[in-house]
A and B are shown apart, each in its own frame.
Chain A
Amino acid sequence: MVAAPVVNITVNGKAISARPGQTVLQAAADAGIEIPALCNHPHLRPEGSCRVCLVEIEKQRTLQPACTFPVADGMVVQTESAKAVESRKMVLQMIFSERSHYCMYCQMSGTAQSTDCELQKLGYRYGLNHWSYGPNYAKNWPIDATRTHFVMDHARCILCRRCVRACQQIAANHTLGVQQRGFKTMICADDNVQFGESSCVSCGTCLQVCPTGALADRRSAYRGHESEVTRTKAVCLGCSVGCGIEAITRDNQLLRVEGDWKAGNEGMLCSVGRFDVVEPKPVRIMWPMVRTDGRLVETSWDKALTFAAGKFRQAHRVAGLASPRLPNEALAAFACFFHEVLMSNEVGLLYGEDPPLELGQPAVLHDVAASDCIVIIAGNPMKQQKVVGHLIKRAYDNDARIIVVNDRPTELDSYAHLRLQLQDVSYHGESPFEQLKNTYHLRGTGVSQLKAAVEAAQRPVVLYGGGLTTTVYAALRALPAKVHFLPLINGTNAAGAARLGLRPRPVHGEALYVMVGDDLPDGMVLPHRQFTLVQSAYRSAWTESADVVLPAMIWAEMKGHMINIEGRSLPVAPLLVAPKSVHACWETLLQLSMRIGYSLSFDEISDISKAVV
């Protein structure tokens, strides 16, 4: 084996082995030496604009930015020499003096140790207790509060352009830019329109990388410093992508969600995963309720469960519907309950689609961003799996060929180098045997065009949805072995549900058990039955029509696993503690089964996990 090439440098007297192509800042960081920087961000291409990371490098005429300067063998670097520190202080003074950085009135204000505001932290580190230049408080720096979820306060902006670069390089949305020049420079959206009217999709990547309080989250502002909150890594249950998140919680409340840089989504999230989860929700159901004299009346768990058990025992056939947002464990317990306790096969998913068949070598999310040819056939990732949509746009920016195959216009059409038309071959016959619902076909010429494009590429990825004809799936399966496949699954854990035999389908029975978790109807009506039990976290039209209502955990309280579009089993870890009177779904089912007179084959969640994972 050939040893990896090494560049030997010295930083602050310490010998360091760096990799060729690394910058001084990266090499130092790997060796545990932190060179202060503001415009630099490990997940953005370096810009070298803030000049805070200037260091002294032997044989260089002037100070050099560590964030852009490449390492070279024998290089000797001083990061905290008198010259470097002096210039760093002057630069920090300039930044502080440019706009209104009045820390005590800023929601990002932290302490010398905290990471709330990176500018303030450096101010502490270098003992800046004043600055020599005239302050700029007099100027009315605009505040743009036209975006729903976060606010841009230009007074706190240091023009590091992390937001602009995040918008370009990570989200590939290209909304943010810079207008004017010199001291008139301002961050702007599109052709200088208000953020709320711009092409911004509220992915919030800019918010996550802002080093100061210029971009402020409406929900979490003033609700806790970094030192007072807890950061927990978890999985977003917003859709089937299963993005890695970092949840910021305090006092058992979810304040904010950020993207996990180390997960497959590489820090990116969509507006649903980042912002919608902290938006106000309907009234939480804390206790079971039983319909008495036409009204839902709170009662004890024992009474409600006993009542429901009686109804289920009486019923000839009980049907069950579960939300595809529930983790494997809840779904498995639900299926088990129906099969073993109620002896019923009438159990399915509340909504969603059958996940498409597995076709070949599965792709991971990074394959999409790194691909040079992406085929999107049936499905609309820009709407349904938004983070995947961003990855496609990122690949497009890197000159990947985009081929869109669909029967209707999608948001990706403007990126498509080739667009092929799917043909609707659905057939609505009377008999269930003659029905062919939502089925689409791609003609032979289209298939050969697609094949030619994929064959010409080096790292092709095919993203495919459900509802294609067997012929098309066969054609996709016959593509060269270098193709990686990513199914566009609708329904967060539809893949996990499918492995348990749960799929969206009509269910029959005079009694109905609907396990909705924290889902909300959004216009969807439940089928009317003689007796309906709804287990839900929130009051909604669903619970209002139910005979018995049981409380449920919300996503952030659940524990278990989900299977994402990559086919990976992701652990769902509880971020919050559920109210005392709210129990996990599987526990409710255990209690209910005992009251029906049958014991389920598990009594610990680990038993179910073992069985399903």
Chain B
Amino acid sequence: MTPEELSKIATIEQEEQQQHKHVIQVCVAAGCLSSHSDQVKDALDKEVSKRGLENTCHVKGVGCLGLCAAGPLVRVQPTAKPDAAVMYQAVTANDAADIVSSLEGPPVKRLVCPTNVPFFTRQKKIVLENSGIIDPDRIEEYIAVNGYAGLLQVVSTMRPSEVIDEVMRSGLRGRGGAGFSTGLKWSTVAKGRGSTKYVICNADEGDPGAFMDRSVLESDPHRVLEGMAIAAYAVGASQGYIYVRAEYPLAVKRLKAAIRQAERAGLLGNNIFGITFNFSIDIRLGAGAFVCGEETALIASIEGKRGTPRPRPPYPAESGLWGCPTLINNVETFANVPPIIRNGSAWFAGIGTEKSKGTKVFALAGRVTNTGLIEVPMGIPLREIVYDIGGGIPDGKKLKAVQTGGPSGGCIPEQHLDMPVDYESLAKVGSIMGSGGMIIMDDTSCMVDVAKFFMEFCRSESCGKCVPCRVGTAQMHDLLCRITDGSGTADDLTLLIELCDVLRATSLCGLGQTAPNPVLTTLQFFKHEYDAHIQKKTCPAGSCTIHAPAEVI
């Protein structure tokens, strides 16, 4: 692959796209696929060929369009006027004829999904810029939207240290949860000893209800490959692994196809862009253990061992996969890298807050009208996410809390709704950014029950290696069960709090250290609910089944 070839592919693809008068984009990411968007696409294909419109209308599968709650989603876009695109929701195969008929006329009213609403207008798309636009199965479409231009720029005009400086200046922080400076991580690996280094993409997304990474991989896999290749160039690695959970078959399929295409195009492999830069990527499948998202457990799993964390130091940046310096970043982190290179660190640093730059993708779930995938600039008030983008709480219910960060995060109550969403602010209220799960809860949710749910999750996902996590999560779960079934005592609560402290202070890895967070934040903001269960033997939300205390005769 030469720079000229790359721009030629882009030009040919762009010209080809211009030939069609209309393009019909059908979401074929997992959300819409599960409501049979593949059948919709087939029906549209048939309809177009039945009417002999193949040369003027192009039907293609694209990645996630965001509003998963309204799927399957279809977007019709006139090539000449992209702004005049119409989005259709809850489309079925039977609607194909109507949609194709409307190409030259007014849109099909009953299916229209308004896009001038905050859900679409308030978002800021960097990571998801191509989601719902390009066909994830075709590398040409990615190249046509400036794909691999960042990699080209890096290998042809920048020294590895300059790449690291650029990422450092952008202020990008790890999107996997902890928010460690990406540039700093890269420079540590670059300084690591030895000539063999590895780049690993952590796609073992495991938080309940979170699907940001899956969506990126399904909608725009090349973006992640490009981000990894840029990282590999910067740190001096020649082999990369994507550790993706086996429960994401579609993401795996698209990744495999993308890797093959990139290899064939010479964008992965040996002598990329004609210089002595070699980089290959292999996929490793996770077997569904949440703890394998922890970097040392993930490395153990890639090495073929039982997926359990090991104490750090040494950090993977010094001694990781097979004992070599290893860079591990999350899917979303890598997906941010190509646009940072293309548009410059200043552009990226201009988005977000002082310490949290860029955007963050959230999977909006729970008691909110617009569930789906959103990307918002860092620092956006939580209220805006819930009420504007999320469309508020359905069924006239009242918001109770917003849970972020999954089992390691916390529940943020209504009174903190005006806080900005960034790493520091979330930490201040006892929660974390996490990988981007955001669960909205209304007043029918019992917060003790929520804490119990997450503790149950941690209990069964603990790897069982260190004592505090293995025993502590089980003990805490037992105590929470006692409280929710009405047999809890004040002593139980004291013990629960004590255990929270011990787990935080003594657990081996992040799973155990953060497992108490849901308990701690619910205790901080909803202690009255615990008290009600313990003292009055009632569940204020009415969701727990309280056993009447046995009568003493």
Residues of A within 8 A of B (CB): 46-52, 54, 62-63, 65, 68-70, 83, 87, 90-91, 94-95, 97-98, 132-134, 158-159, 161, 177-178, 180-185
A98 to B472 Cα, complex, angstroms: 9
A181 touches B502 (CB 8 A): no
B508 touches A182 (CB 8 A): no
B495 touches A182 (CB 8 A): no
The answer, yes or no, to whether B460 is at the interface (CB within 8 Å) is: yes
Contacts of B314 on A, CB cut-off 8 Å?
70
Nearest CB on B from A371, distance (A): 21
A134 touches B475 (CB 8 A): yes
Contacts of A94 on B, CB cut-off 8 Å?
467-468, 471-472, 475, 502
Of B188-196, B305-313, B543-551, the one with at least 4 CB within 8 A of chain A: B305-313
Nearest CB on A from B399, distance (A): 33
B495 touches A133 (CB 8 A): yes
A134 touches B464 (CB 8 A): no
Contacts of A182 on B, CB cut-off 8 Å?
459-464, 470, 473-474
- Per a CB cutoff under 8 Å, which of A97, A178, A180, A181 touches B291? A181
The answer, yes or no, to whether B466 is at the interface (CB within 8 Å) is: yes
A185 touches B505 (CB 8 A): no
Contacts of A49 on B, CB cut-off 8 Å?
465-467, 508
Contacts of A63 on B, CB cut-off 8 Å?
505-506
A183 to B475 Cα, complex, angstroms: 10
**Nearest CB in chain A to that of B507: its residue:** A51
Q: Could you jot down 21 A-B contacts, CB within 8 Å? A: A47-B465, A48-B311, A49-B465, A49-B467, A50-B466, A51-B506, A63-B505, A70-B313, A91-B467, A94-B467, A94-B468, A94-B475, A94-B502, A95-B467, A97-B471, A132-B495, A158-B467, A180-B464, A182-B461, A183-B459, A185-B464
- Count, chain B residues at interface, CB 8 A: 33
Nearest CB on A from B287, distance (A): 11
Q: Considering the complex of A and B, which 4 residue pairs feature the smallest CB-CB distances, nearest first?
A: A185-B464, A48-B311, A182-B462, A183-B474
Nearest CB on B from A599, distance (A): 68
The answer, yes or no, to whether B478 is at the interface (CB within 8 Å) is: yes
Contacts of B462 on A, CB cut-off 8 Å?
181-183
- Per a CB cutoff under 8 Å, which of A46, A83, A132, A177 touches B306? A177
Nearest CB on A from B468, distance (A): 6
B464 touches A90 (CB 8 A): no
Contacts of B475 on A, CB cut-off 8 Å?
94, 97, 133-134
Contacts of A62 on B, CB cut-off 8 Å?
504-506, 513
Nearest CB on A from B122, distance (A): 37
A181 touches B464 (CB 8 A): yes
- Per a CB cutoff under 8 Å, which of A47, A68, A91, A159 touches B502? A91
Nearest CB on A from B509, distance (A): 10
A183 touches B467 (CB 8 A): no
A17 to B17 Cα, complex, angstroms: 71
Residues of B within 8 A of A (CB): 289, 291, 306, 310-311, 313-314, 459-468, 470-475, 478, 495, 498, 502, 504-508, 513
Contacts of A87 on B, CB cut-off 8 Å?
502, 505-506
Given contacts A97-B475, A183-B459, A183-B473, contact A51 B467 (CB under 8 A): yes
Contacts of B313 on A, CB cut-off 8 Å?
69-70
A98 touches B464 (CB 8 A): no
**Nearest CB in chain A to that of B478: its residue:** A134
Nearest CB on A from B221, distance (A): 30
B310 touches A48 (CB 8 A): yes
Contacts of B498 on A, CB cut-off 8 Å?
90, 132
Nearest CB on B from A409, distance (A): 28
- Per a CB cutoff under 8 Å, which of A51, A132, A134, A161 touches B508? A51
Nearest CB on B from A407, distance (A): 35
A98 to B495 Cα, complex, angstroms: 16
Nearest CB on B from A46, distance (A): 8
Given contacts A97-B475, A183-B474, contact A50 B467 (CB under 8 A): yes
**Nearest CB in chain B to that of A38: its residue:** B467
Contacts of B504 on A, CB cut-off 8 Å?
62
**Nearest CB in chain A to that of B472: its residue:** A94
Contacts of A133 on B, CB cut-off 8 Å?
471, 475, 495
A54 to B468 Cα, complex, angstroms: 12
Contacts of A177 on B, CB cut-off 8 Å?
306
A54 to B467 Cα, complex, angstroms: 12
B306 touches A51 (CB 8 A): no
Question: Residue among A47, A51, A68, A132 with the most chain B CB within 10 A?
Answer: A51
**Nearest CB in chain A to that of B494: its residue:** A132
Given contacts A48-B466, A133-B495, contact A90 B471 (CB under 8 A): no
What would 13 more interface pairs be, CB under 8 Å, given A65-B311, A181-B289, A183-B460? Answer: A47-B310, A47-B465, A48-B310, A51-B467, A62-B513, A70-B314, A97-B471, A98-B467, A133-B495, A158-B467, A178-B306, A181-B460, A183-B459
A98 touches B508 (CB 8 A): no
**Nearest CB in chain A to that of B313: its residue:** A70
**Nearest CB in chain B to that of A67: its residue:** B311
- Per a CB cutoff under 8 Å, which of B466, B468, B470, B505 touches A183? B470
Question: Residue among B462, B466, B478 with the most chain A CB within 10 A?
Answer: B466
- Per a CB cutoff under 8 Å, which of A91, A98, A183, A185 touches B506? A91
A91 to B512 Cα, complex, angstroms: 13
A48 to B460 Cα, complex, angstroms: 21
**Nearest CB in chain A to that of B511: its residue:** A182
Nearest CB on A from B432, distance (A): 16
Contacts of B473 on A, CB cut-off 8 Å?
182-183
B471 touches A183 (CB 8 A): yes
Contacts of B459 on A, CB cut-off 8 Å?
182-183
Nearest CB on B from A70, distance (A): 6
Question: Residue among A132, A177, A180, A183 with the most chain B CB within 10 A?
Answer: A183
A566 to B508 Cα, complex, angstroms: 44
Nearest CB on B from A566, distance (A): 32
A504 to B523 Cα, complex, angstroms: 81
Contacts of B508 on A, CB cut-off 8 Å?
48-49, 51, 65
Contacts of B466 on A, CB cut-off 8 Å?
48-51
